[in-house]
Chain A
Amino acid sequence: MIPEAFEYFAPSSIQEAISLARRYGGDAKFLSGGHSLLPMMKLRLAAPKYIIDLAGIGELTQISEEGDSLKIGALVTHKAIETSDEIQSRCRLLAEAAFEIGDPQVRSCGTIGGSVAHADPAADYPAALLALDAEVRIEGPSGGRSVRASDFFVDLFTTALQQGELLVAIHVPVLAHNVGTAYKKLRQQASGFALVSAAAVVAKDEGGKCTHIAVGISGVGPKAFRASKVEESLLGKTLTEKNITNASHHVTASVDVQNDIHASAEYRSAMADLFAKNAIWVAANRAE
């Protein structure tokens, strides 16, 4: 690791972190788990002059229940999400997505706040957060605000965060027991990130008709997105394998599909259909 020189700060409160960020503006970067930022600094693709390490801000590491949602602090690690009883029993989808991230070392260091703020188009959480209709809680120099996941991910590595704003927590809904969810991922062989991944949240009535469906897709385009065409065509329908298969076509129809040495656009699109179908099918079977 041979980065350019930087100055290092370790604030102990959210306010302190925000005021440091305000003071140093575009030259500053928050440091969370470091598992996206440090590799970029090592390659000198990023060279922040000021590093504001969030590790000392205790309140960002909490998972707590707030009304009918779980509040997950920005510094909660992938490992904590994967293994937390609360998340496993109330929002299993997120735990499943966390389990699919990288390897044990990455999961022990990386954090949900860092991953979401980084907005890698092939990261695992975005698909899950979109499907969950999660909210991102932000604090900044001019106060706090909440942004829906669907408004948060703007483009490739670009989010709704303004300069100097700190992501403090993610709010995910506590899911009713009869709601089924599933996360399915096809890994890019080298990086382990998603070549394609699909997160599905499904509820059905007693007759087996779909009463709620949300499908998030990562890895395919410049940002994670909702497969709304698929959702529309399944809502109100019986969740048979045939119906799901028929609906899971053209998942990527309105998306600028990535084409690179790891997969052609053609393969990615086909896999998006397949993994959407698989995720919906498993979620539908888990729904009661």
Chain B
Amino acid sequence: MAQKYLGQAIKRTEDPKLVSGLGHFVDDIKLPDLHNVCFVRSIHAHARIRGVDTSLAAALPGVVKVFTGEDCRGIGSIPCASSLQGLKVPHHPVLARNKVRYVGEPIVAVVADSLYRARDAAEAVSVDYEPLPAVVDPEQAAAPNSTFVHEEFSDNVAYVWSLVGGDVDQAFKDADRVIKQRMIHQRLVPAAMEPRGVIARFLPGEKELTLWSSTQIPHLMRTQVAIMLGLFENRVRVIAPEVGGGFGSKLNVYGEEALLGFISMQLQKPVKWIETRRENFTATIQGRGQVGDVEIAVKSDGRVLGIRYTVLADLGAYLQLLTPAIPTLTGLMLTGAYRIPNVRMDVTGVFTNKVATDAYRGAGRPEATYIIERAMDLAALEFDLDPVDVRRVNLVSKREFPYATATGLSYDSGNYEAPLKKALKISQYPRWRRHQVKERKKGRYVGVGVSTYVEICALGPSPAMPAGGWESATVRIEPTGKITILTGVSPHGQGQETSFAQIAADMLGVALEDVLVLHGDTGVVQYGIGTFGSRATAVGGTAVYGAIQKILKKGMLLAAHLLGVSRREVQFRDGKFFLKNDPTKSISLQDLALASYTARKLPPDFEPGLAAIYFYEPTNFTFPFGTHVCVVEVARETGTIKILQYVAVDDCGTIVNPLLVEGQIHGGVVQALGQAFMEEAVYDEIGQLITGEFTDYAIPRAGDVPWMQLDRTETPSPVNPLGIKGVGEAGTIGATPALVNAVVDALRPFGVRHVDMPLRPEKIWKLMQKETS
């Protein structure tokens, strides 16, 4: 394959339309007679609904109909795809009926002929609540005397899940020291720039329901919505137009999606709902939410013999698509990049009166990486070793791949020392360590944090997934030689319109502009799984590769026929089929395509046309890795943190487009910074979300973002032919512990060994008020 585009820093072909305001997001779609839906949502975290009075609202001008839970009895439960053993799955209605279980739970949907009238009418609905005690804190939820979130269950425990590898008890007996630490992974608001939004249009003649939704998974959503509404799946079409960010929050099937479809069918009118920011804070899934106790068994040279993690997962009131599965990913990656033969994780997932948690960039892996990378620093502190040395003692060496972990995974390929070495060199690590000592004497507190992470990507082999882990692609060579790719992934910022075109253009020897990548429309694209879990390029890109291989194979047959030789005498390169021993005798891909469609001169039994569909099933996950080094200075007077240096050396396998990779790392690190230093969904004791707007929920702004020095190593994955591993979540996974380790390191003179995120200035300031040791 020619390497004209692959590996090149090509600017995203998606961008001109987006930056000039010509893209179409859900809210940009105009339909005649479009009506608006607004919701009445619970103001209580937990309450019995005594009654709902919609009469005033229904009488307001422009109001078409007001829907309550009673009206929607026919709609199926909002789905949870996870099937852990013993999992309690509560009924999850699209509109609450007798009880509400979190602030923001929808109770009534109002339809009117304008957005303003719909909102006015929603305010005119009165709900008679009988407030009940709210279960807010996960530990309180697990306590035997707690109120039940779901009365039909005998407690708030949705499931208990354990993972055991090796002999943990023995490891703890053999240890020189056992280190324990409680660590909290606070709840986070995904805060996509574009909130959710749905337009539903039912055409009674065609009996077809079309849903435009800001989603990451149009096909999975189509299947689920069809089931919920009792429709034939092939009569439902889901379109994900431009999607303004998801970060996992749109890897879901939401009640509003099915409900809008239902309303459109009932009213025989197209209807639209665009989530407000406040709704996005309270009614879209949140991320993280783990409270855990970590224990590691360590030898005095820093070797970690075993790790135990006992954790409460704060699931929220209901189970969304993957809610219970997220903490299990933490378990799989708990041993990180290290040779730790003994592991045990025990998760207790509990219901609380809060919106559900689910996948948020990293989804369970940032938790694992944070735990193990913090633990490495704790071990270093315990034995007064350099945190880098502790890591070196434990890192899986490059000769050990494929490496079988105690958690049951097989790490595909790696060279963990390489990015570590590079990152230490770029950051001039020893110099910072000397600087730190000098500065401390002057009363200035500098800290250095390192994280040598590995993560799990390219989700994934189908047996590990609830609904298939393969991906699909159709590649069509059109009669004029232009290339159309239909991919089953659903890019929303990742740039596959560009990167898939790069793959195809090089494989087919055509210009990048000749390739068009279509996605996100179940009416156009064959069934696919979608975009999440850093899978789109590694799995979806390989499907494109597979489809093109098929086309080339077929093309060879036709070329041989047209050139009057046997198949073995033909070769393909740079867009031409030619004779091996006489390259002047050739036929271009374009001419071949035309010949395949005009079909006048085809070999016997040859199907006309030049297109192929390919479903790629990966045989394993992929495991990207890298080293992040962060240097901070913490001001004792204010507790504010200044990042002096940030170095990230990542290895995500073969790189299709370095610009896209860097963009993913940049964005990921910034989101990690948000979790490490600023973000937290704070609920009060009655379950009200106090941080329910951007005035109170801090996300990083441009001014908070440090300059990042990026570099990379490239260790191809043996799992797929292109060697791609994935990079969508690496930044978020690798960076959080580097940031926190740096701050904790800076606070060492104050006797600090751990601080829970977010490291907000006041917290740091308080720790620095005592005398230094």
- List the interface of chain A (C-beta within 8 A of B): 2-5, 43-44, 103, 186, 189-192, 261-264, 267, 270-271, 274
For residue B696, which residues in chain A have a CB less than 8 angstroms away from its CB?
190-191, 261-262
Contact B638 A186 (CB under 8 A): yes
Instruction: Annotate B119-139 by CB proximity to A: 1 below 8 A, 0 otherwise.
Output: 110010000000000000000
A186 to B762, CA, bound (A): 12
**Chain A contacts of B67 at CB under 8 A?**
none
CB of B765 closer than 8 Å to a CB of A? yes
B115 touches A2 (CB 8 A): yes
Q: Is B83 an interface residue (CB 8 A)?
A: no
Kindly name the residue among A186, A189, A263, A270 whose own CB sees the greatest number of chain B CB atoms within 10 A: A189
**A103 and B701 form a contact (CB under 8 A):** yes
B553 at interface (Cβ–Cβ under 8 A)? no
On chain A, the residues within 8 Å of B761 by CB distance are: 189, 267
Within 695-713 of B, Cβ neighbours of A (below 8 Å) are at 695-699, 701
User: Quick check: A261 and B762 within 8 Å, CB to CB?
Assistant: no
Q: How far is the CA of A191 from the CA of B696 in the complex (A)?
A: 6
Assuming A191-B696, A261-B682, A263-B762, is B120 touching A274 (CB within 8 A)? no
A189: chain B residues within 8 A (beta carbon): 678, 698, 760-761
Q: Which of B261-289 contact A (CB under 8 A)?
A: 276, 278
| Inter-chain contact B762/A2, CB cutoff 8 Å | no
List the 6 closest A-B pairs by CB distance, nearest first: A189-B698, A190-B698, A191-B695, A2-B119, A267-B762, A190-B696
CA distance A186 to B678 in the complex (A): 15
* Min distance, Cβ A94 to any Cβ of chain B, angstroms: 22
| B697/A190 in contact, CB under 8 A | yes
Assuming the A-B contacts A186-B638, A190-B694, A267-B762, are A5 and B682 also in contact, with contact meaning beta carbons closer than 8 angstroms in the complex?
no
B615 smallest CB distance to A (angstroms): 44
Q: Which one of B691, B694, B699 contacts A261 once the chains associate, using CB atoms below 8 Å?
A: B691
CB distance from B124 to the nearest CB of A (A): 11
Residues on B with beta carbons closer than 8 Å to the beta carbon of A274 = 637-638
Say yes or no for B401: interface residue by CB 8 A criterion. Answer: no
Cα distance A247–B765 in the bound complex, in angstroms: 22
Nearest CB of A to B745, in Å: 22
Given contacts A190-B699, A191-B695, 6 further A-B contacts (CB under 8 A): A2-B276, A43-B693, A44-B123, A190-B695, A264-B762, A267-B765
Q: Considering the chains assembled together, what is the distance between the CA atoms of A4 and B760 in angstroms?
A: 37
Q: Are B120 and A4 in contact (CB under 8 A)?
A: yes
Question: Quick one: which of A3, A186, A267 has the most chain B CB within 10 A?
Answer: A267
Interface majority SS on A: helix, strand, loop or mixed?
loop
Q: Does B153 contact A (CB under 8 A)?
A: no
Q: Is B383 an interface residue (CB 8 A)?
A: no
A/B interface sample: 7 pairs, CB < 8 A: A44-B123, A186-B638, A189-B698, A190-B678, A190-B691, A261-B690, A262-B696
Does B116 interact with chain A (Cβ within 8 Å)?
yes
What is the minimal beta-carbon distance from B765 to any residue of chain A, in angstroms?
A: 6
Least Cβ–Cβ distance between A84 and chain B, in angstroms: 23
Which residue on chain A has the smallest CB distance to residue B120? Answer: A4
Instruction: Identify which of B678, B699, B701 gathers the most chain A CB atoms within 10 Å of its CB.
Output: B701
- Interface positions of B from 720 to 773, Cβ below 8 Å from A: 760-762, 765-766
- Min distance, Cβ B14 to any Cβ of chain A, angstroms: 25
Q: Nearest Cβ distance between residue A103 and chain B, in whole angstroms?
A: 7
Assembled-state Cα–Cα distance A44/B38 (Å): 14
B136 to chain A, nearest CB (A): 15
Scan residues 363-405 of chain B and give those whose CB is less than 8 A from a CB of chain A: none
Q: Contact mask B27-41 → A, CB, 8 Å, 1/0?
A: 000000000001000
Nearest A residue to B637, CB-CB: A274
Point out residues on B near A: beta carbons under 8 Å: 38, 115-116, 119-120, 123, 276, 278, 637-638, 678, 682, 690-691, 693-699, 701, 760-762, 765-766
Tell whether, in the assembled complex, residue B115 and residue A271 are in contact, meaning their CB atoms are under 8 Å apart: no
In the assembly, what is the distance between CA of A72 and CA of B760, in Å?
38
Contacts of A43 in B (CB 8 A): 278, 693
Contact among B119, B638, B694 for A271, CB-based, below 8 A: B638
Interchain CB contact under 8 A, A5 and B120: yes
Q: Shortest Cβ distance from A176 into chain B, in angstroms? A: 32
Whole-angstrom distance from the CB of A156 to the nearest CB of chain B?
Answer: 16
Smallest CB separation, A166 vs chain B (Å): 27
Which among A2, A4, A5, A186 has the highest number of chain B CB atoms within 10 Å?
Answer: A2
Q: How far is the CA of A271 from the CA of B637 in the complex (A)?
A: 8
Q: Are A2 and B682 in contact (CB under 8 A)?
A: no
Task: Give chain A residues whose Cβ lies under 8 Å from the Cβ of B637.
Answer: 274
Closest to B678 in A: A189
Residues of B within 8 A of A264 (CB): 762
Complex contacts, B762 vs chain A, CB 8 Å? 263-264, 267
Nearest chain B CB to A123's CB is how many angstroms away?
13
- B693 and chain A: residue at smallest CB distance: A43
Which chain A residue shows the least CB distance to B704?
Answer: A189
CB distance from A154 to the nearest CB of B (A): 23
Q: Given the complex of chains A and B, what is the CA–CA distance between A3 and B638 in angstroms?
A: 39
Which A residue sits closest to B680, measured CB to CB?
A261
| Closest chain A CB from B636 CB (angstroms) | 11
For the complex, give the distance between the alpha carbons of A279 and B278 in Å: 37
Closest to B694 in A: A190
List the B side residues contacting A267 at CB < 8 Å: 761-762, 765-766
List of A residues within 8 angstroms of B701 by Cβ: 103, 192
> Considering only CB atoms, which chain A residue lies closest to B699 in the complex?
A190
Taking CB as reference atom, which chain B residue is nearest A270? B765
Residues of B contacting A186 in the complex (Cβ-Cβ under 8 angstroms): 638
Query: What residues on B are CB-neighbors of A271 within 8 Å?
Result: 638
User: Does A5 lie within 8 Å of B698, measured CB to CB?
Assistant: no
**What distance in Å separates the Cβ of B687 from its nearest Cβ neighbour in chain A?**
15
In the assembly, what is the distance between CA of A186 and CA of B765, in Å? Answer: 14
- Smallest CB separation, B467 vs chain A (Å): 36
Nearest chain-A residue to B700 (Cβ)? A189
Residues of B within 8 A of A103 (CB): 701
| Docked CA distance A3–B698 (Å) | 25
In the bound complex, CA of A281 to CA of B50 (Å): 62
Q: Please, which residues of chain A bring their CB within 8 A of the CB of B123?
A: 44
What is the CA–CA distance of A4 and B118 in the complex, to the nearest angstrom? Answer: 11
Expressed in whole angstroms, the Cα–Cα distance for A282 and B120 within the complex equals 52
- Give the docked Cα–Cα distance between A103 and B701 (Å): 10
Q: Quick check: B638 and A5 within 8 Å, CB to CB?
A: no
A253 to B276, CA, bound (A): 41
A196, B475: Cα distance in complex, Å: 60
Of A3, A190, A262, A267, most B-chain CB atoms within 10 Å: A190
Q: Given the complex of chains A and B, what is the CA–CA distance between A105 and B278 in angstroms?
A: 21
Interchain nearest-CB distance for A7 vs B (Å):
14
Nearest-neighbour CB distance to chain A for B137, whole angstroms, equals 16
B693 — which chain A residues lie within 8 A by C-beta? 43
- Counting chain A CB atoms within 10 Å of each CB, which of B690, B694, B696 scores highest? B696
CB distance from A42 to the nearest CB of B (A): 8
Chain A residue nearest in CB terms to B702 = A103
The distance in angstroms between the C-alpha atoms of A270 and B636, with both chains bound, is 12
B3, chain A: closest CB distance, angstroms: 42
Instruction: Collect the chain A residues with CB atoms within 8 Å of residue B119's CB.
Output: 2
